[in-house]
Amino acid sequence: MNAPRRATPMIVDRDRADRPLRRRHGVALREAICVAALAELGEHGYAGLTMGRVAARAHTSKATLYRHWPGKVELVVAAFESAMPQVTVPADRGDLRAELFEVLRQVADGMASPSGGAARELVAELVRSPALARAVRPLLPDASMAPMLEVLRRAVVRGETPVCALTPRYARVGTELVHQYGLGNGVPIPDEVIIEIVDDVLFPLLRGLAVGR
């Protein structure tokens, strides 16, 4: 008669078993989802990005995503906002050229930062997908807009440029050129490029507005 087989003892990782499962909430959960969304966007593009893939990558559920965002356009906008480098208002030097350079230098440095890499991916995706650009661009904030408008406001007060320069369209010109250069030529962006944008584009533009008034 065969001896009864002894049961193999189950090995339990006590440290892991005793460790409570940590559930993320609030800011931590939103950050994880935004990181996952940017990673999916970079790997698969907007067309291949799905709420299900983002949820799986963030180790959460689609229901959780839909509680925060109604669809993937809104999710992409939130992810872009989370990765957007900050641009601060430069000190008031009484020097329009120096202040324009400082704002655009921050924009260029932001594009070269780790978080700026995610922003570059989204900007490139907007170029590839006109439909996405139409849906997303009205919702996207521009971190350089307020600092640039403040620099132009100071110039208006000093009489260096007319008040008609205080519009988002004019304030966006330099930033758009920096973005175009970074996307086409890579980062980091040298000082010489920013100086050319200020001296050869922005200053002639602002002078032309003053002459035309």
- Closest C-alpha among 17, 12, 43 to residue 121: 43
- Is 50 exceeded by the pLDDT of residue 20? no
The rounded distance, in Å, linking the Cα atoms of 190 and 104 is 11
- Is 60 exceeded by the pLDDT of residue 5? no
Non-local (6+) Cβ contacts of 130 within 8 A are none
Together in a domain, 121 and 203: yes
Q: Range with the lowest mean pLDDT among 5-14, 23-32, 72-81, 203-212?
A: 5-14
Together in a domain, 49 and 105: no
Together in a domain, 145 and 207: yes
Q: What is the tens place of the pLDDT at every residue in 120-157?
A: 777 777 777 787 788 777 777 788 999 999 999 999 99
With 0.85 as the threshold, say if the pTM is over it: no
The rounded distance, in Å, linking the Cα atoms of 105 and 110 is 8
Contact 169, 128 (CB under 8 A): no
Together in a domain, 112 and 75: no
